[in-house]
Amino acid sequence: MTARRSPADRSPAGRSPSDRSPADRSPARRSSARLSPSRLGPRDVLHVGSAGLRSRPVRVVLSALGIAIGIATMIAVVGISASSKAQLMRQLDQLGTNMLVATPGESMFSGEKVTLPESATGMVGRIEGVEDVGATGLIKESVRRSEKIPEDETGGISVQAATEGLLKTLRGSVASGRWLNAASGRYPAVVLGHVAAARLGIATPGSQVWIGGRYFTVTGILAPLPLAPEIERSALIGWEGAKKHLRFDGHPTSLYERSTDASVAQVRSLMAPTIDPKSPENVLITDPSTALRTKAATEGAFNGLLLGLGGIALLVGGVGVANTMIISVLERRYEIGLRRSMGATRGQIRIQFVTESLMLSALGGLAGIALGSAATGVYAAIGQMPWTVPLWAVGGGFGATLVIGTVAGLYPAVRAARLSPTLALHAA
């Protein structure tokens, strides 16, 4: 007697397995019935990746601190160098690169220092393209606050005669008081460079200083002159006043000229023959702006060393992130096993921990960029410089943190993905 099949023994379609068609029993049909793991969207990846960060905030802060220090060091080094260079270029733009200075050289035959002719200023002023001319003449006297101070205590300050057009040629300005003019230049009046005034302890005009056996009244104090540091350390007296009161011989020792930008090369080639037609080789022509350009070009020469130190700090921070992620894997074995048992694949576990490492490094990178930019801003404000942080430094620093985060999270992620679900749940 044959037993009848109950409805429960039949297939969902009401047919027994023996009644199914060959298409129903094919491998493709059976494989379509298997379960496939769901995919994680970007939002899901960020959610599971930030779960470990949200649950351990103190550890996150300490781990990100190493990354932040490394990035802050690199940003600050590049930013401070860029700010200093921008300040130098600003000074070059303001002061110009069209000034030349003529000074006496040494005779090729006697080896003695030659002198420039008294008419050198007028002759250079007649060269085509020259706009302004000024000159100084060194006087063998010392400047002191009073006659009671020994003569050998000069403080590194020189006494020089100066023409009226000198300040305009240098594109300088008077910080306080007035510059020498046709009237004051004939009397015992003196204008101090700002370094000379500081060394003499004079802050305002009206004081008197002792020069050549008599007192001279300070009528002005100059502002800084980056292109003429020798003027900053000088006590300047009018050309005629120096002849009258200090026995100045009238021969200039430095002749400054300003020309149009287009005629700088031509004027440079004509200055020496104009000043000394017989022996032009005895006249030295220099460009003061070369010093600033060289300084701007060499700005950041030690940046490589400092950036290397910042890179080491960044690597140490990366090791800290890797260590934090390994500890996190060990502490969260139960979570990993539970997720695997609920269908999470090894790839999803790897993505979770790599994402967590990336987010941890990114937080440190953002904090480092903020700290480095703030340090550059403070330095620029103190030095009265333009605040400059190159975008390539910010982008490169943040990119470095992402690379460090990826490398630091690979091993912990692989280790987490290899955990057996059953062993992880049993160990927990």
Q: Can you tell me the distance from the alpha carbon of 138 to that of 342, in angstroms, rounded to the nearest whole number?
A: 92
Strand-strand pairing, 158-162 and 130-139: antiparallel
**Which residue is it, tokens 């800084």?**
224
Confidence of residue 151 (pLDDT cuts 50, 70, 90): confident
Residue 195 has pLDDT above 90, yes or no: yes
Contact 276, 283 (CB under 8 A): yes
Beta bridge pairs of residue 234: 158
Looking at residue 94, what is its pLDDT? 62
Lowest mean pLDDT among 18-27, 45-54, 355-364: 18-27
Query: Which of the pair, 392 or 310, is modelled with greater confidence?
Result: 392
pLDDT tens column, 266-323: 999 999 999 988 888 889 998 877 766 666 566 555 566 666 777 777 787 778 788 8
Q: Can you tell me the distance from the alpha carbon of 71 to that of 311, in angstroms, rounded to the nearest whole number?
A: 8
Confidence of residue 18 (pLDDT cuts 50, 70, 90): very low
R_g (Cα) of the chain, nearest Å: 40
Looking at residue 17, what is its pLDDT? 46
Residue 371 has pLDDT above 60, yes or no: yes
DSSP per position, 174-224: EEEE----TTGGGSSEEEE-HHHHHHHT--STT-EEEETTEEEEEEEEEPP
Looking at residue 6, what is its pLDDT? 44
Residue 10 has pLDDT above 60, yes or no: no
Query: Which of the pair, 124 or 294, is modelled with greater confidence?
Result: 124
155-172 average pLDDT score = 92
Confidence of residue 12 (pLDDT cuts 50, 70, 90): very low
